[in-house]
């Protein structure tokens, strides 16, 4: 009888582990002012530090928060290169103008849901910290308003990175290109918008205690059965 009750206790503990008693641990990865960035060769300012600024989006671009995933995020650039800005981003088909690296760490298995738009386009890399960068989506050099398709600036021209993750530290690297021929920010704005969320499930302390008690009971009952 004791064995039966201990097995039930362990089963209940495992069931509760996967129930609503577990809470989600959330990390939001969004474009915002104040993020450190890297100026690339095409900017003409390579080697100088940069920090992102919020910019004014063109009326045809995907709008700022709320954007489709609903996690937040606004259009940003290395300078005031928006439609109402004062800085004209240099044009360079050979390489990106600036790069942002977003890093995050999770202590247990989880998942990522990451969305990105860019004008004119962008490369997106993703890797476990210390590992080689994986290009998960490359820049699109076929132009219309920005890129003609993904990754572009219009609402349906996003790229979505969605995958399950193991515990670890990860890097998302975003390199943004300017390709247009406009001679003022008003007719050749430039920037990037991204909105992402990493989610892991963390059991409540009470759940862990119940789980441990169930396993302990199961172990003790097994020992008693062997002695008999």
Ramachandran assignment for 209, one of left (phi > 0), alpha (psi -120 to 50 degrees), beta (any other): alpha
Domain residues of the chain, as ranges? Answer: 1-22+204-228, 23-202
**Could you give the CA distance from residue 53 to residue 35 in angstroms, rounded to a whole number?**
8
**Could you give the CA distance from residue 77 to residue 41 in angstroms, rounded to a whole number?**
16
Model-level pTM greater than 0.85?
no
The pLDDT of residue 203 is 66
Contact 146, 120 (CB under 8 A): yes
Question: 209: which residues sit within 8 A by CB, 6+ positions away?
Answer: none
Per-residue pLDDT of the chain (228 residues; tens, 9 = 90+): 444 444 334 433 434 344 445 678 999 999 999 999 999 988 888 888 899 999 999 999 999 989 999 999 999 999 999 999 999 999 887 899 999 999 999 999 999 999 999 999 999 999 999 899 999 999 999 999 999 999 999 999 999 999 999 999 999 999 999 999 999 999 999 999 999 999 998 766 554 444 444 444 445 444 444 444
The pLDDT of residue 58 is 97
CATH class of 23-202: mainly beta
């Amino acid at each position: 009888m004791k064995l039966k009750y201990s097995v039930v206790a362990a089963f209940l503990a495992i069931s509760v582990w996967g129930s609503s008693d577990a809470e989600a641990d959330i990390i939001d990865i969004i474009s915002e002012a104040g993020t450190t960035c890297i100026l690339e060769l095409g900017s003409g300012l390579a080697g100088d530090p940069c920090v992102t600024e919020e910019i004014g989006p063109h009326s045809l671009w995907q709008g700022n928060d709320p954007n489709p995933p609903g996690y937040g995020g606004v259009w940003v650039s290395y300078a005031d290169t928006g439609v109402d800005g004062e800085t004209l981003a240099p044009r360079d088909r050979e390489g990106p103008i600036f790069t942002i690296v977003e890093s995050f760490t999770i202590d247990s298995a989880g998942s990522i849901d990451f969305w990105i738009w860019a004008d004119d386009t962008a490369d997106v890399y993703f890797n476990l910290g210390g590992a080689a960068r994986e290009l998960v989506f490359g820049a699109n050099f076929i132009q219309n308003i920005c890129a003609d398709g993904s990754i572009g600036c219009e609402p349906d021209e996003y790229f979505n990175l969605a995958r399950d993750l193991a515990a670890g530290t990860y890097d998302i690297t975003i390199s943004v290109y300017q390709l247009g021929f406009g001679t003022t920010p008003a007719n050749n704005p430039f920037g990037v918008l991204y909105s992402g969320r990493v989610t892991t499930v963390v059991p409540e302390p009470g759940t862990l205690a119940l789980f441990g008690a169930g396993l302990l009971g199961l172990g003790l009952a097994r020992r008693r059965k062997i002695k008999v």
